[in-house]
Structure 1
Amino acid sequence: MFRVEEAAPWRAFTSPRVLMYHFFGAPLSGRDPDHLFVTAENFRTNLGSLLDSGWRPVDLDSYLGWWAGDVRLPHKSFLLTIDDAHRSVVDLAAPILSSFGIPSVLFVPSGLIGGAVCWSDDYARERIATADELRRLPTTGMELGVHGFDHTRMVALGPSELRRHTVDARLELERVTGVRARAFAYPYGTHDSVTRRGVAEAGYTVSFAVARERGSFARWRICVDGNDSQTAFRFKLTPTYAAASLLGGRAWRARHLVRDQVEAVRRATIAGTGRPRVR
């Protein structure tokens, strides 16, 4: 019987941090209700702050090697990931990451390549990168992964739907870009045991959620959004945030605690008093 690893979340507490971004620059509509857009200036500041404070970037090979026990990494290590394959990744994020020498993983909804966002009315005009653009990204240090077929929420899926968003999505990305993806990220960060098993059986090496750590096929990530001040961004790297975030993926009370902590840091920053210590 196929068994999907269900690791205790506390090893993730000491693992390399995995940062999750979405869009860059500014929205076409001028509206960004979910704060998905991070400006180029703030993105550069985020990256510079990480490197200046001793954080070291890792690629997916090193990240997987750490979990396997084959690779030793500095205590302050991070893997940078980006969801949705928005056109701004090509125009802004990839060149900035390349200038810093930071590798990354881009998760692509492969059935939407060259199209537009269809899963949100608020972002419906936003463009997805084309096949030609995606094919060029690995030369910049950006690995391609799969983000489902069309950004469908992956819970309570039947067998045919699950295959479409795992096996077929991987084949489509390979067909149009030549890349056979080994990493997967759940749209909206949501998953269940059937979904995790389906991703594993589809042949992926690892998959990522958000805060809901469930082993190799639902690794936790830290969401970085356009509403984060630099103080809030640094706070998200702290052990305090990691503990609350990992616990928050399993209990609704803790999820609210995480949100309250981040909001308190933002309010303190606005007031000019927020100085949480970053380790």
Structure 2
Amino acid sequence: MRIGTVERIRRYPVKSLLGEELGEAGVSERGLDGDRALGLLDAASGRVASAKNPRLWAEMLRFTAVLHPGGVVITGPDGRAVGEGELSALLGREVSLVSERPPGATVERAVPEEVLSRGIDREVAVTENEIGRAAPAGGFFDFAPLHLLTTSTLDAVATEAARYRPNLVIRTEGDGYVENAWVGRELRIGPDLRLRVLAPTPRCAVPTLVHGELPRSTAALKVLAAQNRVVPLEGMPALPCAGVYAQVVEPGRVRVGDAVSLG
């Protein structure tokens, strides 16, 4: 059953930095080619740097990573390329760019309920979470190798896709949060690519932060808290969610305009 078309494809070569728009991409079992292939390792804590803890890392979302044939290029807010040393100075913490996820690698995540009640300018409690629980080895994925989001959900929240950092934005009809019903089912995208939808995507402080030229938006989390609290995985509480995580069943290529069908 056809349910929509691929409207946008996004890749984020470095975890928690801004990414790049693509017209098409190869997709393997580890997601879009080059997506979350690199991460920034915090020298002080040994954790992977992530804007999920905005008190330390909100500034990461002012930097952009683009993949070139010679490797990744990171640019600052002024569009100028920066190296590791300058990036560390601008972030205020020593970081190193790494291509291998350390065993048991973790990130800190601000507790969403505290972000909602206290805001991002005040210190809030954080949890420490291992990354890549449902992803193949390698890469710096929070949970699974692909993140999908529908235009129906974006219309319901009335905010920009960039705040939720999806890999694929799928144009759909109907009311918001239609992707909730895809969990446990398979999607076929274009002639070859086949995905299995694993879970709704819980949201944290990240959508509320400055993203490049986009200003702060508390509504990006508050609307979800009011409209779409669901249980992402068994044993978890109901959380504000937008979009779904997926794994790759059959690799292939994805192109803007590809048909998306529900199996």
What is the TM-score when the length of structure 1 is the normalising length?
A: 0.25
- Higher relative contact order, structure no. (Cα contacts within 8 Å, ≥ 6 residues apart): 2
Q: More helix by proportion, 1 or 2?
A: 1
Q: More strand by proportion, 1 or 2?
A: 2
What is the TM-score when the length of structure 2 is the normalising length?
A: 0.26
